[in-house]
């Protein structure tokens, strides 16, 4: 429920809150009205009964003081009020019952037919309670089926204020008229509240729209705010102080954002140049290493009496020229970092180009296993050699502490793709650094800038290809390069 409310707009929430507040206020007013009306009815009935009680007691005292010829005592109460009790009861529309001090019934105005509901004697609790009351009067009220009953118990006294009995007065009042008046009042009140609710709904709608109009304007501007564009400030013609404070804060943020954007752009340009310089330096080092190895190998194996000396010199020359071409392409692209490395697609034979890249390395544990004799594709020969050189260098460095090193390079193809795999049995790549392998400047080596794998990843992705790896620590790593043929 609460999660659903979070998705409701502020305007709708304000609208619903105002309607609920009005409905709640209406319900509370009606509840208080009913309660107050009921309390007033009870108070009115009690006061009315009190007036009747006082008048009836006055008539009873007159009867005991002036009219009777019998001695005023408990035994003569039935004789004294033989007829007058009915007259007093009719005059005041009240039931009168008289008991002895012990609670025995002496005389009552209730007809014999209806005496089943009248107890023959008062309970000992009422007699005892009457004695303990400060004013020696007990008032009891109850309501049944819309009729309220009030009754009181007090002492009858002779002219010398001596107690001679217990007087019980009872009044029954029908509340039908009061209840009907209440129903009529509530029906009128309901009609009034219904129209008030309609007016409140319209008012709540316009108020919620007015309140949220400024917030919506600010929200729209915030959604359009971008770091790399010039952002407009908010100008509100009329709004509350709170909205003005929010607008001022937003406009101040825009000024600071523009200043930060300028600084960030400058910083990014400087960082881009630094990264470019690092990548260029790294890429230049890549061909220098095999060139150095080639020269050293040629120096060790050079024999002027060798009948194949010209062929070896030619291979040596071709290898150096190839690496020089790589360095030349890097130097050519130095002035345009965004285009580095620049693609120069040509139809090449993949198996022989990969073998040419492998021939640079003298490690005897490197095995080349092409699945086909010839595979043709439209790729940049120089960039493919750079990819293979970097992969092989990484594989060799992973085998530095391996007693039985082994690197296997395979080349295969499908209808539309070329698959090159470089597998080694080196130390592998730990799980915690696998996600960082292709990140610039990340390296697990003690030397190097960590730009080799990121650079070849950029080269491969520039051809819409992919590079992935599978590695098991302590068992080795398998890099898989997939390139399209066209």
Distances (CA, A) of 261 to 223, 232, 248, 463: 17, 15, 20, 33
Confidence at residue 185, expressed as pLDDT on a 0 to 100 scale: 79
3-class DSSP string for the chain: CHHHHHCCCHHHHHHHHHHHHHHHHHHHHHHHHHHHHHHHHHHHHHHHHHHHHHHHHHHHHHHHHHHCCCCCCCCCHHHHCCCHHHHHHHHHCCEEEEECCCCEEEEECCCHHHHHHCCCECCHHHHHHHHHCCCCEEEEEEEECCEEEEEEEEEEECCCCCEEEEEEEEEEEECHHHHHHHHHHHHHHHHHHHHHHHHHHHHHHHHHHHHHHHHHHHHHHHHHCCCCCCCCCCCCCCCCHHHHHHHHHHHHHHHHHHHHHHHHHHHHHHHHHHHHHHHHHHHHHHHHHHHHHHHHHHHHHCCCCCCCHHHHHHHHHHHHHHHHHHHHHHHHHCCCHHHCCCCCCEEEEHHHHHHHHHHCCCCCCEEEEECCCCCEEEECHHHHHHHHHHHHHHHHHHCCCCCCCCEEEEEEECCCEEEEEEEECCCCCCHHHHHHCCCCCCCCCCCCCCCHHHHHHHHHHHCCCEEEEEEECCCEEEEEEEEECC
User: Six-digit token pair at 386?
Assistant: 């750079």
Tell me the β-bridge partners of 467: 481
Cα–Cα distance, 395 to 476 (Å, whole number): 9
Taking only the tens place, the pLDDT of each residue in 237-256 is 665 666 677 677 777 777 77
Cα–Cα distance, 390 to 217 (Å, whole number): 55
| All residues at 6 or more sequence positions from 382 whose CB lies less than 8 Å from its CB, including other chains | 322, 325, 326, 329, 344
The per-residue pLDDT string of the chain (486 residues; one tens digit each, 9 = 90 and over) reads 444 555 566 677 777 887 888 888 888 888 888 888 778 877 887 888 888 888 988 998 888 888 888 888 988 888 888 888 888 888 888 889 999 988 888 888 887 655 555 567 888 888 888 888 878 888 888 877 767 788 889 999 888 889 999 998 988 776 666 677 777 877 887 888 788 888 888 887 777 777 667 666 666 766 666 655 666 666 666 656 666 776 777 777 777 777 776 676 677 666 756 766 676 676 677 777 777 777 777 777 767 777 777 777 777 788 778 777 777 766 655 544 444 456 678 899 999 999 998 988 888 889 999 999 999 998 988 889 989 998 998 888 888 878 889 999 999 998 889 999 999 998 888 887 777 777 654 344 434 334 567 778 888 888 889 999 998 888 899 999 999 987
Structural contact between residues 356 and 334, judged by C-beta atoms closer than 8 angstroms: no
Is the link from the previous residue into 336 a cis peptide, with omega within 30 of 0? no
User: Six-digit token pair at 222?
Assistant: 């915030």
User: Six-digit token pair at 261?
Assistant: 């954007």
Which string of b and e fits 6-26 if b means at least 16 CB within 10 Å?
eeeeebeebbeebbeebeeeb
Confidence at residue 203, expressed as pLDDT on a 0 to 100 scale: 82
Structural contact between residues 484 and 413, judged by C-beta atoms closer than 8 angstroms: no
Taking only the tens place, the pLDDT of each residue in 307-331 is 777 777 777 788 778 777 777 766 6
Confidence at residue 386, expressed as pLDDT on a 0 to 100 scale: 87
Confidence at residue 450, expressed as pLDDT on a 0 to 100 scale: 43
Cα–Cα distance, 421 to 410 (Å, whole number): 5
User: Six-digit token pair at 373?
Assistant: 């004799």
Cα–Cα distance, 463 to 481 (Å, whole number): 11
Structural contact between residues 106 and 99, judged by C-beta atoms closer than 8 angstroms: yes
Tell me the β-bridge partners of 412: 419
- Alpha-carbon Rg for the chain, nearest whole angstrom, is 55
Q: Among 391, 377, 372, which residue's Cα sits nearest to residue 345?
A: 377
């Amino acid at each position: 429920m609460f999660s659903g409310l979070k998705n409701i707009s502020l305007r709708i929430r304000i609208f619903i809150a105002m309607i609920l507040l009005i409905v709640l206020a209406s319900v509370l007013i009606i509840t208080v009205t009913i309660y107050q009306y009921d309390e007033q009815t009870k108070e009115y009935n009690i006061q009315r009964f009190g007036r009747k009680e006082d008048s009836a007691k006055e008539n009873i005292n007159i009867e005991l003081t002036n009219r009777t010829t019998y001695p005023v005592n408990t035994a003569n109460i039935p004789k004294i009020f033989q007829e007058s009790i009915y007259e007093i009861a009719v005059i005041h529309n009240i039931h009168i019952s008289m008991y002895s001090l012990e609670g025995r019934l002496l005389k009552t105005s209730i007809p014999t037919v209806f005496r089943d509901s009248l107890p023959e004697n008062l309970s000992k609790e009422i007699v005892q309670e009457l004695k303990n009351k400060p004013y020696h009067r007990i008032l009891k009220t109850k309501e049944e089926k819309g009729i309220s009953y009030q009754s009181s118990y007090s002492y009858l006294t002779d002219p010398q204020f001596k107690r001679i009995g217990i007087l019980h007065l009872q009044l029954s009042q029908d509340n039908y008229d009061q209840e009907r008046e209440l129903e009529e009042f509530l029906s009128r009140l309901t009609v009034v509240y219904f129209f008030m609710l309609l007016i409140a709904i319209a008012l709540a709608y316009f108020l919620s729209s007015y309140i949220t109009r400024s917030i919506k304007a600010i929200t729209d501007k915030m959604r359009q705010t971008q770091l790399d564009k010039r952002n407009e400030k908010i100008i509100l013609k009329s709004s509350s102080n709170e909205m003005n404070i929010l607008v001022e804060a937003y406009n101040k943020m825009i000024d600071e954002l523009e200043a930060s954007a300028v600084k960030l752009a400058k910083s990014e340009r400087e960082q881009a140049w630094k990264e470019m310089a690092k990548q260029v330096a790294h890429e230049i080092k890549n061909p220098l290493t095999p060139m150095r190895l080639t020269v050293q190998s040629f120096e060790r194996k050079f024999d002027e009496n060798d009948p194949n000396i010209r062929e070896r010199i030619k291979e040596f020359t071709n290898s150096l020229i190839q690496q020089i071409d790589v360095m030349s392409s890097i130097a050519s692209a130095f002035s345009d970092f965004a285009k580095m490395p620049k693609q120069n697609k040509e139809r090449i034979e993949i198996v022989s180009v990969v073998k040419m890249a492998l021939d640079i390395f003298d490690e005897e544990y490197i095995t080349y296993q092409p699945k086909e004799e010839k595979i043709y594709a439209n790729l940049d020969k120089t960039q493919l050699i750079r990819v293979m050189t970097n992969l092989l260098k990484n594989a060799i460095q992973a085998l530095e502490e391996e007693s039985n090193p082994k690197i296997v390079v395979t080349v295969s193809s499908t209808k539309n793709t070329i698959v090159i795999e470089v597998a080694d049995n080196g130390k592998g790549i730990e799980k915690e650094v696998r996600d960082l392998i292709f990140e610039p400047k990340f390296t697990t080596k003690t030397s190097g800038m960590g730009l080799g794998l990121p650079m070849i990843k950029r080269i491969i992705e520039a051809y819409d290809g992919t590079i992935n790896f599978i590695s098991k620590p302590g068992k080795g790593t398998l890099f898989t390069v997939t390139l399209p043929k066209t």
